[in-house]
Structure 1
Amino acid sequence: MDESDHYSLHPFVIASGAAIFCCVCTFWALRSNPGGVFWQLKRTKFCRAGDISAGDCDGHCVDENMALGDKKAVVVERQGGASMMELLVPEITIHALSYLDYTSLCRLSMTNSAMRSAANDDGAWKALYHKDFTVEQDNINPSNGWKAYYATTKAVVTANAEFYNIIRERSFPDMSQFWLNADYVNCIHASGELFTGYNAVLESWALAFNWGQGGGQGIDLQVRNVRARILGSMAWVTMNAYVDLDMGSFHVTNIYEFHHGQWYMVHHHSSMMLN
């Protein structure tokens, strides 16, 4: 290599060194900036589905390593300034969210501030309530909003389903814990007999569980057309029950009271359907 070639490469070497130096400085600055992309990637949290409880969409989050695809998604969103969902008008966003289920809407609220605001919108939760439960309560105005009303309704419907699981399994210990221990509780079985007071009610269930099929044997019981209504610490649920026996089908009303973080049954009324 002659002297002319040596001098012709000199500017290229200087430019390459300067470019490498700038890249290193830029990378160090991004890592050092608390609001930068890399800092946000390190602090990003995700919620597991099992951590989401009814009524608490924030859940309990744990730090997890992000996959390469997730990192790229965050970088693209920060570079673009907004996601596609954030660019939509609120009415379209709420309509799109109405197609999500309860768990998905909760997860979406954990992504960013814009999606959290949209996922907590009262209209989105009202639409979800109508999809999952009933449109019969379209004109009510829940005091704590539709999100809280949805979560409470879900808890009551879950408790009501547990009541019928107890009957199917003929579990007397579970039934004794399901009823509120109070003198004013009532139970009217399909026979028309009325039992008042905690002890009398439990004695009636002990007899019912041991009647006819040898005690301990399961019951083929199906429940349809479940409708729940909440008013403060009170809830009542109506439904139709179908039993695989000669007894036929029944109209049922269950009433619950909320005490110490749990919904307890205080009234059960079952009556036979007329053909």
Structure 2
Amino acid sequence: MKQVQAGSLHVGGDGKLFVMAGPCVIEDPDRILKIGQEMKAICGRLGLPYIFKASFDKANRSSWKSFRGPGLKRGLEILRDVKKELQVPVVSDIHDVSQVAPAAEVLDVLQIPAFLCRQTDLLQEAAKTGKCINVKKGQFMAPEDMKNVAEKISHAGNENIILTERGVSLGYHNLVVDMRAFPIMRSFGYPVVFDATHSVQLPSGAGTSSSGQRQFIGNLARAAAGSGIDGVFMEVHDNPEEALCDGPNMLYLSQVEAVLRDMAAIKAITDQSVSTATK
């Protein structure tokens, strides 16, 4: 299993669960900083590597009326300040080739949204930056199809790849997680992450916005920890009811530590079992 470099961190392949977490979208700069500070403290107490997450633009919202974020220029300024204050790596979504270069000046991890995971030009332009690339598996794709996605990035000269599972569409407004996806994608040699909060999303389930089933985040996260993952992605908020994007599927900050503690413990047991079985 390759380790990948995300800013100052090397993650994956060392048996330690790493965490990518923060609010869905950049809202008030002070509020997202406070969320990041709390997440850093939680991960510090648990001994888990932490990468701050927030989107400067959510280009795939359900409605044109939906809040998208501050945009590229202002959003990157805010993320630069958060990165400086927290002293942790930062990840955010990119949606277009034109965003790659300016985003790479600030971000440690360039994230490819699930809907765009097959966009060859975007993948390869991102790869050329040398930054870590986190690709979310499309809701329409089988896990084995992600090998082609990874090869598009590696062919451009970048092996700094993370693959993220976020559920697959089942009928309308519903996602399910196939736990076989984790060992399948991990067999490609790259760290695999579980997106614990988008996996309980009900896409467009509220008409002009997505709904979600927050109550199942812990169940799926614990199951994923026992199924072979290297990291977890979570969108978290101090009060999801006030969130401007993805509130119904975001986890309360007050609930995060218990879930991560369980995940780390389960992962340790699973890794030990696998190690013993292969001796």
TM-score, normalisation: structure 1? 0.22
Larger Cα-atom Rg: 1
More helix by share: 1
User: TM-score, normalization: structure 2?
Assistant: 0.21
Higher relative contact order at CA 8 Å, sep ≥6: structure 1 or structure 2? 2
